Amino acid sequence: MSILKPAAALVLAVLALAVMQRTAPGYADITRPITVSGKLGERLTGRQFDIRVESVRLGRDLVYEAYGRRQTLTTNGVWALLEVSAEATTESVSIIAASWRAPNGARYVASKRPSTYPGMLSLQRLEPGLPKRGFILFELPRDQLAGGTVLIARTEFAPLDTEFAFHMDGIDTLPLQGELVLTADD
């Protein structure tokens, strides 16, 4: 009888510790960004900038001109080219983090390959009152287009800062161009 009580207390303590260990939120949960959700074409406002995904184009090869040379980038998936407009709210800011959250849960970080093309959004600085347009480019497997979400934040690690989530409904029905030409005007 006397041993039952401490044994039960021990079992309870072990159980309580196990539950605490399993349910304690991790560092990534505690510091996760605050999501602002919307759809393609919708303007969303966050702490430091607001942004709208204007259009999406899909292609097999990406073609652009930089420093007078024509460059062609190939992929073994497809290129998804987003044209966005963005504006800083209170102070100058650069947006360097964008990723595609695929339906299988994987995150495809925006491609840094056309690093010499000045129209990429990550190379621009946004100023309050001066809206700017820029490109975000993803390299994706064809089967991860439908049901994807574009996540945009100021930096890759943005604890408790705004993260925009644009649901890309209907993107898989867009035509797949052979050559996707990177120009701001079409």
Partner 1 sequence: MSGFSALKRRTVSWIVAGLGASVAAGLSLGLAVMAASQPAPLKIVGAGEEVDTGRWRVAATGAGFKPADAKAAGYLDRQNLLFVRLRFTNLSAASSNAYVSVASLDLPADGLEAPTYLLARDGAMVFDLHPDMPEDVVAAWKWPEGRAVPQTLRVTFAGQLYKRRDNLYGAPGWFPADPAAAVDLPVKTVAAQ
> Given the rule CB under 8 A, which residues bind partner 1?
26-28, 72-74, 76-77, 99, 102, 104-109, 111-113, 115, 139-141
Got the DSSP string for 80-142? EEEEEEEEESSS-B---EEEEE-TTS-EEEPP-S-TT-TTBGGG--BBBTB-EEEEEEEEE-G
**Beta carbon of residue 112, minimum distance to partner 1 (angstroms, whole number):** 4
Pick 22 or 186: Cβ nearer partner 1: 22
**Beta carbon of residue 138, minimum distance to partner 1 (angstroms, whole number):** 9
Pick 80 or 93: Cβ nearer partner 1: 80
**Beta carbon of residue 90, minimum distance to partner 1 (angstroms, whole number):** 30
- Give the residue from 66, 98, 68, 104 showing the smallest Cα distance to 83: 98
- ∠ at Cα 115 (144, 168), nearest 5°? 25
**Beta carbon of residue 116, minimum distance to partner 1 (angstroms, whole number):** 11
C-alpha radius of gyration, the chain, whole number: 22
Pick 82 or 93: Cβ nearer partner 1: 82
